[in-house]
Structure 1
Amino acid sequence: MAKQQRVVIVGGGVIGLLTAFNLAAEVEHVVLLDRSGVGQESSWAGGGIVSPLYPWRYNPAVTALAHWSQDFYPQLADRLFTTTGVDPEVHTTGLYWLDLEDEELALAWAQREGRPLSAVEIPAVEQAVPVLGRGYSRAIYMADVANVRNPRLVKSLKAALHAMANVTIHEHCEVQGFIREGSTIAGVNTAQGEIRGDQVVLSTGAWSGELLGLLGLELPVEPVKGQMILYKCAPDLLSSMVLAKGRYAIPRRDGHILIGSTLEYEGFDKTPTDVALESLKASAVELIPALADAELVGHWAGLRPGSPEGIPYIGRVSGFDGLWLNCGHYRNGLVLAPASCQLFADLLLGREPIIDPAPYAPTGRI
């Protein structure tokens, strides 16, 4: 594809930011738009585990993106830290899954996929994670699972983009429609006026279906609310991520511990609720009893972009020249972002793709 391309990216979450970051060196100009501040929706709200919560339960299309991203995250973080001075804090702690109903399926998946997942005796888990609650009977463990501190990842990507002369970021700039010239999408209409481009990319998370609906297309992406709470503890309290009964605890390097998360189908309402707060606090104390006396410093909600089987839409939109999607990552936007955005850049620039793009193609799926 010719260098003299102007690419307009709608949506400034991690997917939009990283798409812009990957394209900036290859195209003439990148314009990134967000209706609020960049990275303030699910990218900010998520936990940042660099793995699907239950990777063996996912379609191989999700697994393929996850494996590529997991291997790539440390070098992406190093590059961003070196460039911006903002450390995304990719923190490799490992992850224990406790009392899984489908443990045998998980172990078979790991053997098939060559992932370092193994069964561990409970006394060994209690020795490795002394603060873990008692009463669990089985565990499996993967040592190389990391978490990324997602608000810092957003901050680092934003700083990297601001340093690029050919990238323009418009925050608080809501897209109201598309500029159509025949079958070509030539840009977008915003409250601040027209913004034209040779290619238009939708990376608007849970709102992607709303925008595509303006073109008469039905994209099965829906908002799925998730609520989280945050404690402040000593930095060495929790040494590893732990997950039981669908709830997880994630330690940050500085002692913050995240507990999440709910799954709620409440439309675009992202109001935190007392019911969820009490449920999350109960899960926190069941996982780590010491959290009963810890300082609770945060409670929030975000909207995941739910999609069929959690398989994102990555590629051209049939029937609309110049229109592309990189959206619909459901619960795995942070873990899938590096691979999704690399694959997207490969497709837009006409390069050999890192993995087979067919499962993610919008054609036939919308």
Structure 2
Amino acid sequence: MSKDVLVVGGGAIGMLSTLLLARSGAAIHLLEEHSLGKESSWAGGGIVSPLYPWRYGAAVTALAHWSQDFYPGFGKLLLAATGIDPEVHASGLYWLDLDDEAQALAWAAREGRVLRAVDILEVHQRVPVLGPGFERAIHMPGVANVRNPRLVKALRAALLAMPNVTLREHCPVTGFIQEGGLICGVTTAAGEIRAQRVVLAAGAWSGELLATLGLKLPVEPVKGQMILFKCAEDFLPSMVLAKGRYAIPRRDGHVLVGSTLEHAGFDKTPTEQALASLRASAIELLPALADAEVVGHWAGLRPGSPEDIPFIGALPGYEGLWLNCGHYRNGLVLAPASCQLLADLMAGREPIIDPTPYSPAGRLG
């Protein structure tokens, strides 16, 4: 069997890459080791912004800005096409007691983003459930969050409706087919699958797969644990972030609190220690959560990469192999721009942004 393009990895990056590539009419085969969208894309918080956008370089900022502007319309398109609402919810975000508040405000002025310092009394008026003891705040009103489990469900439904897309779940890829320096497919437990081009979008597992070619991709798993509370629908009107922990309101009243940063290999086991730490942070931020039920606790693996800059583009010396991986904590944030950039490069179109910072050339070991 042969396809125009094989996409390895069925998270948000892999599914959206497939969607955009398929729109050109190419025959796409998407392979996922487990179930589509059930790894870090499902496990994350879904804030449509880097947690501290001013702390990133220009490469991440360019992808983030393009994606943030794209998400509201994209959510509506997915809802219209699939009947599944990803719930792109522009709740805004308050950062509390930042050490680098001045740098944040300077960054916003330079980048033309709406961000302002607000009196802490105003924050308590707008977020009455906020805990005491905070002294300073900055606010970005336009920041949205997307309900990521619904986003990946909508993407899967959209792909199932495309006649030129084949989805294969529970199909682990074990290596690449290489002939004369050309990558022309992959090997799986079910046999070989050939294609003119292969896109590697396997998140934290991307390095493991490239190692089968003797390449060292500096992408490693970074574990993050989250907890979910059930509250009244109007409990939390805005996202809040302090001391590295955040609370995210969903439209139905669920409040998501995260997250940990752990270097524990590929272990995704939730721990009691993390549960206690996250719950303590939640109660410090929003004391009323002390009486709320924890209805979920899980862990996911982020694909950590140097300077958090993803690898997007062709891999030199391995014709036919393309990368779209290494987004660390920002996979959902950067997915639209990353996948559009990849699609532009693969189609030979003028790219949406300068692709140079993301090129795999010279960045692998």
TM-score, with length taken from structure 2:
0.99
1:236 counterpart residue number: 234
Distance 1:207 1:280 in 2: 26
For residue 167 of structure 1, report the CA deviation from its aligned partner: 0.2
Tell whether the 8 Å contact from 1:176 to 1:189 is kept in structure 2 after alignment.
yes
2:351 counterpart residue number: 353
1:282 counterpart residue number: 280
1:250 counterpart residue number: 248
Is 1:169 aligned with 2:167?
A: yes
Distance 2:205 2:25 in 1: 26
Counterpart code for 2:49:
S
1:89-146 Cα offsets, whole Å, 9 max, x none, are 0000000000000000000000000100010000000000000001100000000000
For residue 58 of structure 1, report the CA deviation from its aligned partner: 0.4
Counterpart code for 2:241:
L
Counterpart code for 1:17:
M
SS at match of 1:164: coil
Distance 1:287 1:70 in 2: 26
Is 1:314 aligned with 2:317?
A: no
1:116-265 correspondence to structure 2 within 5 Å = 116-265=114-263
Distance 2:192 2:217 in 1: 24
Distance 1:218 1:243 in 2: 35
SS at match of 2:282: helix
1:307-354 Cα offsets, whole Å, 9 max, x none, are 001000000001001000000000000000000000000000000000
1:42 counterpart residue number: 40
SS at match of 1:187: strand
Distance 1:218 1:290 in 2: 47
Distance 1:257 1:147 in 2: 12
1:99 counterpart residue number: 97
For residue 181 of structure 1, report the CA deviation from its aligned partner: 1.0
1:319-330 correspondence to structure 2 within 5 Å = 319-330=317-328
SS at match of 2:95: strand
Tell whether the 8 Å contact from 1:186 to 1:198 is kept in structure 2 after alignment.
yes
**Correspondence for 1:341 among 339, 361, 365:** 339
2:18 counterpart residue number: 20
2:65 counterpart residue number: 67
Unaligned runs of 5+ in 2: none
Backbone CA RMSD of aligned residues: 0.8
Counterpart code for 2:311:
Y
For residue 25 of structure 1, report the CA deviation from its aligned partner: 1.6
Counterpart code for 1:183:
G
Q: Percent identity?
A: 71
Distance 1:234 1:25 in 2: 41
SS at match of 2:70: helix
1:301 counterpart residue number: 299
1:86 counterpart residue number: 84
Distance 1:256 1:307 in 2: 31
SS at match of 1:147: coil
**Correspondence for 2:9 among 8, 11, 25:** 11
Counterpart code for 2:13:
I
Counterpart code for 1:270:
K
For residue 204 of structure 1, report the CA deviation from its aligned partner: 0.3
Counterpart code for 2:19:
F
SS at match of 2:213: coil
Distance 1:15 1:140 in 2: 31
Cα distance, 1:110–1:124 mapped onto 2, change above 3 Å: same
1:18-52 Cα offsets, whole Å, 9 max, x none, are 00010112143000000000111100000000000
1:57 counterpart residue number: 55
Aligned residues: 363
SS at match of 2:128: coil
Distance 2:123 2:175 in 1: 53
Distance 1:98 1:292 in 2: 20
Distance 1:339 1:75 in 2: 14
For residue 5 of structure 1, report the CA deviation from its aligned partner: 6.7
For residue 75 of structure 1, report the CA deviation from its aligned partner: 0.8
Distance 1:108 1:204 in 2: 36
Tell whether the 8 Å contact from 1:6 to 1:27 is kept in structure 2 after alignment.
no
